[in-house]
Each structure stands twice: as structure tokens, then as C-alpha cells.
């Protein structure tokens, strides 16, 4: 029965027409629209919605909501790949719980096939919850833990904003995974992509040949403006088109932010935009933009 179920699921994915605009990868949090934890069937439904756009996702924690297991289970026997995140904050017990769950999952899933990278922390230095040296030590710790179970070939990195990706982190990671949001710099949409790519170029220079991947970038389709950066559908689609096309021309890998609009996302910041970064609406089904989302002609 299990074998037949997976064959049917794979056929459903394979039959999905790839007529939608393609992304190298997307950021994904499988929590449901009300913020509740997901089960494998809900993740499978999400993957079916997202498969026309990409077959690469990044999640931020394997332990939060125990989301690592349903995501990996839903991806079995498909062409999906995932970057698995370990959350890092001031409380090292949170990191240790994520690492413990990661190692447990290595016993049940084919990491060599399904996992493209492990991402240790997301903006922990930017939030001043870790020093760069503390985070670098955690990266080394995870590398050793994976090597101990025969998975030394899985790339390990961290995600930080462009100004907080310090040299000690660049030296430790297998590739640089940077976040950049010209919106949060208050940059007018006319200059936003030039600003973003300058950050990429600066990190490429600092990385001295090590690959630089954009782990997050995007533009909100609704909410309050931020300085000269104005939200809205037009600007969100314009930023997306210019970024995706330029990244393709320059062979820059990226995970666009975000898969879904998320009503549960925090609004505790200076601009009420956190629920409005997705390429799919908050019902997790309806595309936000008409196709083609972008055209690079």
C-alpha cells in the first residue's frame, strides 16, 4: 500500500504542467494559514501547488512543529530538494534541539538525494542573538556531526544579511547564503535591484571565489511603505522580474522570499508587511500574480 501510494503521488507531481514562471528556489514555512503545525498530507498539497514554480525549497527549522519530518516524507520519491534549517537564537537549547532532530532524521531519509544543504541559523548575528564567532562554532559543530554519520558531503552554511556576513562566517561556510532586502533599506523601486546586486558583488569579492547564494530577497505586495520603498502588487512584480532575470543572466542561485503569503507572520515591526511576500496568496492555493509572472526577453 505504501509503495502504491508513493507511485500515485509521484505521478501526480509529474503530471503537473511546468507552464508557470520558474524560480531557482523558494523559501517555505509549512505552518498552516492559521499558524498551526502541518501534517504530511498538507505538505504534499503545498508541494503540488509549488511544483510548477520550482523543485527546491528552504525551511528554517526541522524541530519547530517537527516540520522536518513531514517535509522530507512528502518529498520522498520525487525530484524535490530541500535546504534544512536549524534555528539559532540566544537560547542554545533551541539549536541543540534542532541539531538532535536533524541527526534523527538522517536515520530515516536519504539525505544525499533529498537535502541540498543544512543552514545553521537565519540572521542570528543580525538580531544580535549570537556573535559571528559563536555562530561559526555552531557551523563547525554541525559539519562534524554530519561527518560522524557519513554525511560530510552535505554543504553547511548560515544565512545572514549582507552587512553581518562577517569574514569569520565566510571562512567557515561551504557557500555564502546572504539575505538582501532593498525594501528594508528604504530604497526606491527604480534603484532596488542595482542596490541588491551591489550587495551580492561586495560579498562575492569578500568570498574570494566561494559561491554566493541569495538565501532571501523579495518585495512586499501590501502593507505600509518604508521610506522611499513603496509596497504594492506592481512594485512586487517589478522587483521580482528584474531580480529573477538578472540572477539568471549572471548565474546567481537564489531562494526567493516567499512561497506563500502568511497571515500568521509577525506584524511586530516598523512596517506592516510581513504577511505579504508570497507568490501564492494566503489560502496556499491561489497564485498572486497572473502568468507570466516575469519575462526576460
Confidence band, pLDDT 50/70/90 cuts, at residue 154:
very high
Regarding pTM above 0.85, the answer is yes
Rounded CA separation 191/194 (Å): 6
- Please determine, for residue 267, whether its predicted confidence score (pLDDT) is greater than 70: no
- Please determine, for residue 4, whether its predicted confidence score (pLDDT) is greater than 50: no
Q: From edge to edge, which strands make up the β-sheet containing 156-161?
A: 26-27, 56-58, 81-86, 115-122, 156-161, 176-179, 212-216
- Please determine, for residue 221, whether its predicted confidence score (pLDDT) is greater than 60: yes
- Please determine, for residue 270, whether its predicted confidence score (pLDDT) is greater than 80: no
Burial 183-196 (b: 16+ CB within 10 A, else e): bbbebebeebbeeb
Rounded CA separation 110/273 (Å): 37
Residue 126 CA from chain centroid, whole number: 17
What is the rounded average pLDDT of the residues 212-230? 97
- Please determine, for residue 152, whether its predicted confidence score (pLDDT) is greater than 50: yes
What is the rounded average pLDDT of the residues 115-134? 98
Burial level of 51, CB count in 10 A (0-12/13-18/19+)? buried
Contact call for residues 165 and 178 (beta carbons, < 8 A): yes
Rounded CA separation 197/180 (Å): 9
- Please determine, for residue 2, whether its predicted confidence score (pLDDT) is greater than 70: no
Give residue 1's pLDDT: 37
Using one digit for the tens of pLDDT, what is the confidence trace for 62-92?
999 999 999 999 999 999 999 999 999 999 9
β-sheet bridge partners, residue 27: 58
- Please determine, for residue 8, whether its predicted confidence score (pLDDT) is greater than 50: no
Task: List the alpha helices (DSSP H) in the chain.
Answer: 2-15, 40-50, 68-75, 92-105, 111-114, 132-148, 167-172, 189-207, 233-249
Amino acid at each position: 500500500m505504501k509503495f502504491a501510494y508513493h507511485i500515485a503521488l509521484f505521478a501526480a507531481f509529474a503530471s503537473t504542467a511546468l507552464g508557470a514562471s520558474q524560480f531557482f528556489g523558494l523559501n517555505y514555512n509549512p505552518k498552516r494559514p492559521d499558524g498551526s503545525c502541518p501534517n504530511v498530507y498538507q505538505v504534499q498539497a503545498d508541494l503540488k501547488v509549488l511544483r510548477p514554480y520550482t523543485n527546491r525549497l528552504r525551511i528554517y527549522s526541522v524541530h519547530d512543529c517537527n516540520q522536518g519530518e513531514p517535509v522530507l516524507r512528502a518529498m520522498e520519491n520525487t525530484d524535490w530538494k530541500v535546504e534544512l534549517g536549524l534555528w539559532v537564537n540566544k537560547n542554545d537549547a533551541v539549536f541543540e534541539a534542532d541539531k538532535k532532530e536533524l541527526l534523527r532524521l538522517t536515520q530515516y531519509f536519504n539525505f544525499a538525494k533529498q537535502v541540498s544543504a543544512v543552514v545553521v541559523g537565519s540572521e542570528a548575528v543580525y538580531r544580535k542573538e549570537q556573535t559571528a564567532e559563536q555562530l561559526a562554532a555552531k557551523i563547525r559543530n554541525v559539519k562534524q556531526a554530519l561527518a560522524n554519520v557519513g554525511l560530510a558531503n552535505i554543504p553547511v552554511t548560515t544565512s545572514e544579511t549582507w552587512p553581518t556576513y562577517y569574514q569569520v562566517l565566510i571562512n567557515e561556510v561551504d557557500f555564502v547564503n546572504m539575505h538582501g532586502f532593498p525594501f528594508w533599506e528604504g530604497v526606491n523601486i527604480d534603484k532596488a535591484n542595482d542596490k541588491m546586486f551591489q550587495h551580492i558583488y561586495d560579498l562575492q569579492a569578500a568570498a574570494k571565489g566561494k559561491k554566493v547564494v541569495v538565501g532571501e530577497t523579495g518585495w512586499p505586495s501590501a502593507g505600509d511603505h518604508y521610506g522611499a520603498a513603496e509596497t504594492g502588487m506592481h512594485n512586487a512584480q517589478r522587483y521580482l522580474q528584474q531580480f529573477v532575470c538578472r540572477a539568471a543572466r549572471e548565474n546567481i542561485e537564489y531562494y526567493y522570499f516567499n512561497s506563500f503569503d502568511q497571515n500568521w507572520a509577525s506584524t511586530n515591526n516598523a512596517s506592516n508587511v510581513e504577511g505579504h511576500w508570497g507568490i501564492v496568496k494566503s489560502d496556499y492555493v491561489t497564485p498572486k500574480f497572473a502568468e507570466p509572472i516575469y519575462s526576460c526577453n
